[in-house]
Amino acid sequence: MKTLCEVDIQPLDPILFQGVDAVSRAICFMEEKKLGHGGYSHMGLAVTREILDLPFLEPGKLYVWESTLSAKEGFWAKFTDRVPDAETEGVRFGVQLRDLEMVIPGYEAAGGRVAWASYHGPRPSLEAMRRELMALYDEYGHSQYTSNLLNVFGVVFPALRSARDLANRAEDRMAHFMNNVLARADNAERVKDADHHLFCSQWCATVYTRLGMAMKDFDPLLAAPVDVIAYTEYFREPVPLVSETQPAEESEPR
């Protein structure tokens, strides 16, 4: 196990999570059953202000860009690690940025664990990366977590993918109706289509695909958190991370 000071995390390296709640355990079980690896239930991407120049990010600090539920306090905080998103510090369910240094002890406190898997595939230039990531933030930065759970289960159960696609098409038709037919309605809030409701690994795979960092013909809809273990040509073996307040040599995963 390593602390953040002992590793060299680069922007867009995957950050992996193993939760201990019932949903996380179910995801790990399904991954192990269908994909042969079940060690991680959630993932995000490491980013810094150097590549994503947003005013609410602090220079020199590592953040994890992920699609998740976060809340610092209140009812929803009972289901989270109590680390808020950096932009609003309120309740958020979808794509967001969180302080990685705070997330690690937050997961530890709940009995979970965090790991880092170095990406060693092709990367765009720094300037291209900045441009594309800002475009991704503008497009997906406030996207909600997917409301269609078939998106999640369809990753490991191919038989569910046709039902997933039907549900997504219905969601798209509703979004089209709300955004076009009712476009003139006063105070109407635009509705995101199915492609902009993302679960964790789907969000990460979308970023990799948009930046040309994914495998050829890779489908983000089929991405699972444990793919970083399977695709060894792109990712190195995950390294468990531990908070600075918990010495690495004394820490054990729970």
Tokens for 5?
A: 């000071």
Residue 159 has pLDDT above 80, yes or no: no
Confidence band, pLDDT 50/70/90 cuts, at residue 142: confident
Higher pLDDT among residues 200 and 54, named by residue: 54
Give the chain's end-to-end CA distance (angstroms, integer).
13
Q: What is the DSSP letter of 177?
A: I
pLDDT in tens, 15-48: 999 988 888 888 888 888 888 888 898 999 999 9
Residue 187 has pLDDT above 70, yes or no: no
Q: 97-101, 102-106, 231-235: lowest mean pLDDT where?
A: 231-235
Q: For 64-89, what is the mean pLDDT? A: 93
Residue 151 has pLDDT above 80, yes or no: no
Burial class (CB in 10 A: 0-12, 13-18, 19+), 40: buried
Q: What is the structure's pLDDT at 201?
A: 87
Residue 183 has pLDDT above 80, yes or no: no
Q: Residue 123 and residue 130: Cα distance in Å, rounded?
A: 12
- How would CATH label the architecture of 4-145+198-250? Alpha-Beta Complex (3.90)
Tokens 């990367």 — which residue? 123
Q: What is the structure's pLDDT at 200?
A: 87
Q: Residue 8 and residue 21: Cα distance in Å, rounded?
A: 30
Instruction: Select from 62, 109, 79, 103 the least CA-distant residue to 251.
Output: 109
pLDDT in tens, 236-248: 999 999 998 765 5
Q: What is the structure's pLDDT at 229?
A: 84
Question: Global pTM?
Answer: 0.79
Instruction: Select from 63, 20, 58 the least CA-distant residue to 42.
Output: 20
pLDDT in tens, 109-138: 989 999 999 999 999 999 999 999 999 999
Tokens 């089929």 — which residue? 222
Q: What is the structure's pLDDT at 23?
A: 80
Q: Residue 198 and residue 90: Cα distance in Å, rounded?
A: 19
